[in-house]
Structure 1
Amino acid sequence: MNPIPAIAPTGPQDRAVFARRESAVRGYCRRFDTVFTSARGSLMRDESGREYIDFLAGCAALNYGHNEPAMKEALLRHIGADGLAMGLDLHSAAKRDFLERFETLILQPRGLPHRVQFTGPTGTNAVEAALKLARKVTGRHNVIAFTNGYHGVTMGALATTGNRYNRMGLPLSGVTRVPFDGYHGEGLDTSALLAQLLEDPSGGVDAPAAILLETVQGEGGLNAASAAWVQRIALLARQHGALLIIDDVQAGCGRTGPFFSFDGMGVVPDLVVMSKSLSGFGLPMALVLVHPDHDRWQPAEHNGTFRGNTHAFVTAAAALDTYWREPGFTDEIARRAALVHAHLERIAREVPGARLKGRGMMQGLDVLGGDLAARVCTLAFERGLIIETSGAHDQVLKVLAPLNTPLPLLEQGLALLHGAVADAVAGTLRRAA
């Protein structure tokens, strides 16, 4: 791994201005309290020159790592030629290049006839668009969402998000929440529970416009739905005239192995929501894949000034060319996922009752307590590893390393995680003694 080139600090090496001027809503920087200046691949560097292994990857917005060379070259070439920077939803050469590659490399091989709707550049905006379209198509209002689901924090998406902290006690409506796969353990098939509620005229559930789900719940604690469960949910959607929406904002673009998290599950969603690593370069970009039967929009009925991020089109096309033109990339993801799984199994032995969660390169370890998980993250950061938590109590250590992390660096990061878990558990035991 080549070292990251040093960048001279542009101001005082302190953080007082952030506390003085940045809103109290800031989050990640509270845990990773340093000033970053540069990054390459799976490494980040702060202004003191210290390097950190990145197991956060922009919360899965950097599946190919920081400043990926092919994408950087394509973007610099585009900018150097005065390529269009901002185009609303005008036709552009960059958009055409992306759409042609996306059609040829992603949609056609999977037999997906879907059209591409570019929304405002965030995942939550794409969720809003999908919910609006489902309600327009069906003439219904109610949406089925699931426990521990996370779909964004704008008002419509927030109504479908389960986390009480994010919901802030706001008067959110139009959503019926039901248990996700495995929420009650293996003894209860939650799809059967949903079927009973929908079929019972006294079940209290209004006919749904849509059923919205993540196949792996990223912020909800890496809960992974089985293919059989997803198939049963898809069947229920068809039987009851609802659109099936799969939120692949975090789980898509190879994060669970294949390009879509639902690949190989035997379902064809009506709508698919994507963002985060779609641009491949951390540039804001989001879309909704819309089955042609449901493309009922009137012109500009859902719009947004920045739905034409041309720079993101350039890097997204380069990402598809570089990583998805040949089938070998999924094999590389599987190889790294197996390595992560093996290490997490060993680490789990340090924590009584710990459980492995997730799939692909979206795996983690439920250490059963948020305080312990927070202590692990703190120790890991002190040792040069950036890793975050998820779950209802922030109790799941969440490994989101870039999909192309070099194997020795991935091993090194997992070793740092192992040491942090062992020391955090030992410290907890000492305090309890």
Structure 2
Amino acid sequence: MSNPTIDKYESEVRGYCRTFTKTWDTSEGAWLTDTDGEKYLDFFAGAGVLNYGHNHPALRKPLLEYIERGGITHSLDMYSAPKERFLETFHRVLLEPRKMEYRVQFPGPTGTNAVEAAMKLARKVTKRSNMVFFTNAFHGMTMGSLAVTGNEGKRHSAAVPLNYASAMPFDGYLGEGVDTLDYFEKSLEDRGSGLEMPAAVILETVQAEGGVNVARREWVERLGRICKKHGILFIIDDIQVGCGRTGHFFSFEGWDVDPDIICLSKSLSAYGLPFAVVLLKAEHDIWGPGEHNGTFRGHNLAFITAAAALEHFWRDDSFASEVRRKGEIVRERFEAIAKAHPELKAHVRGRGFIWGLASPHHGLADLFSEEAFKHGLVIEGAGINDNVVKFLAPLVIEEADLLKGLDILDEVAGTVAKRLADRNVA
């Protein structure tokens, strides 16, 4: 099924509607409903935007009340009551208990806006231009973010050279037993390496779009030490795996890591409203007034829902603990699926509530998405070769719905395994 009106008038650039061909009408929790009244279970969560599910009542109620009373929607970077409440809540609920000291910058409302602002600031602070990123990284689709993205196809979409950035091997990229940071550190210390001293290193602790590649705690901690030793700013991009996705609000919680800059977006508004922030150490806050701005950096509706989510979900560890518990259910079921279907040649990787079923079969994720959708389940893939089935359900999903979706994936795995076996025979 397609939508003739949208197909006629919208650009060919549209992507997800080619896989998920329904026209969506309503949504609640972990469920999507199309215009024919058919329900689909959501293991996609808006690519990580909807950690708290669709239309959560604890968020919808204060948003509707604010709109109904005529609360200000747009205010650029002027003072507003919702901004004041968000900042106070963010510091009281998140930063102070974790002994994290950061100032908050509001760039444009998307993840790539946050990345662009972070890199621009790092270059301003250090007076250096080069950025270091990691193989298979994804940081956004604007020019600066593409320069620190590894995916060849996405890089080529820029249609111009992407400069002032150097790729380094991510943890595990060179196989087990190899610490890829040996190469990075040697390159920094060897004046013949050709590596220009970077302004900053930008890292996803879990590369979601890159294939659910998980960096080990000790590797990330060592990277932080290397950056500090050489006066390089350390940027953590927590846009997709922050806001609770790894079982903690920040993906590096409890680690001996002290990033100079943190990028947040996607589920930060908690309701699907565009919203991004850059957290920066006070000593790096050297912006002049208006030196980096954006028309929609004062998005008060997002302040309302973000503050409500912090108060509702993050005042203690009970919500995060439940996410971690359910994440173990997913891990165990994914491992069982991999074991039951050796034809997939799959292995499992992930953390918290983001998991991948990874295989050497190119296009495996496309087969899973296509077949799962026939069974009423929305799930996407990841990896440079679309070879990783990526679990990204809302953190609030009811356990019964979670198990229902995992049962569907088990059935789908059998169908996909048979298709692969038939392909090999042919």
Partner in structure 2 of residue 234 of structure 1: 224
Match of 2:297 among 302, 307, 315: 307
For residue 411 of structure 1, what is the amino acid of its counterpart? L
Partner in structure 2 of residue 117 of structure 1: 105
Report the Cα offset of residue 204 of structure 1. Answer: 0.5
| Pairing 1:198-347 to 2, within 5 Å after superposition | 198-347=188-337
Pair 1:107-2:99 in alignment? no
Partner in structure 2 of residue 155 of structure 1: 143
SS at match of 1:109: coil
Partner in structure 2 of residue 91 of structure 1: 79
Q: Is the Cα contact below 8 Å between 1:42 and 1:402 reproduced in 2?
A: yes
Pair 1:28-2:20 in alignment? no
Partner in structure 2 of residue 397 of structure 1: 389
For residue 294 of structure 2, what is the amino acid of its counterpart? G
Task: State the Cα deviation string for residues 29-75 of structure 1 (Å, max 9, x = none).
Answer: 11001101010000001111110000000001000000010100010
Q: Is the Cα contact below 8 Å between 2:365 and 2:382 reproduced in 1?
A: no
CA distance in 2, matches of 1:418, 1:288: 40
For residue 290 of structure 1, what is the amino acid of its counterpart? L
Report the Cα offset of residue 330 of structure 1. Answer: 1.1
Partner in structure 2 of residue 37 of structure 1: 25
CA distance in 1, matches of 2:138, 2:255: 21
Match of 2:58 among 51, 55, 70: 70
Match of 1:412 among 393, 404, 407: 404
Partner in structure 2 of residue 143 of structure 1: 131
Bigger mean CA deviation after superposition, 379-388 or 359-368: 359-368
Q: Is the Cα contact below 8 Å between 2:364 and 2:386 reproduced in 1?
A: no
For residue 215 of structure 2, what is the amino acid of its counterpart? A
Bigger mean CA deviation after superposition, 392-401 or 372-381: 372-381
Contiguous gaps of at least 5 residues in structure 2: none
Report the Cα offset of residue 14 of structure 1. Answer: 5.6
CA distance in 1, matches of 2:226, 2:410: 42
Q: Is the Cα contact below 8 Å between 1:253 and 1:259 reproduced in 2?
A: yes
Q: Is the Cα contact below 8 Å between 2:138 and 2:150 reproduced in 1?
A: yes
CA distance in 1, matches of 2:424, 2:218: 43
CA distance in 1, matches of 2:422, 2:197: 54
CA distance in 1, matches of 2:387, 2:363: 8
Task: State the Cα deviation string for residues 209-258 of structure 1 (Å, max 9, x = none).
Answer: 00000000010000010110001111111111110000000010000010
CA distance in 1, matches of 2:95, 2:115: 20
SS at match of 1:370: coil
Pair 1:129-2:117 in alignment? yes
For residue 408 of structure 1, what is the amino acid of its counterpart? A
Bigger mean CA deviation after superposition, 185-194 or 136-145: 185-194
CA distance in 1, matches of 2:267, 2:363: 30
Pair 1:81-2:84 in alignment? no
Q: Is the Cα contact below 8 Å between 2:364 and 2:389 reproduced in 1?
A: no
Deviating 4+ runs (over 4 angstroms) = none
Match of 1:193 among 183, 198, 202: 183
CA distance in 1, matches of 2:82, 2:8: 41
RMSD over aligned Cα atoms? 1.0
CA distance in 1, matches of 2:88, 2:305: 14
Match of 1:386 among 364, 378, 388: 378
SS at match of 1:389: strand
Scaled by the length of structure 2, what TM-score is found? 0.97
Partner in structure 2 of residue 10 of structure 1: none
For residue 285 of structure 1, what is the amino acid of its counterpart? F
CA distance in 1, matches of 2:383, 2:324: 24
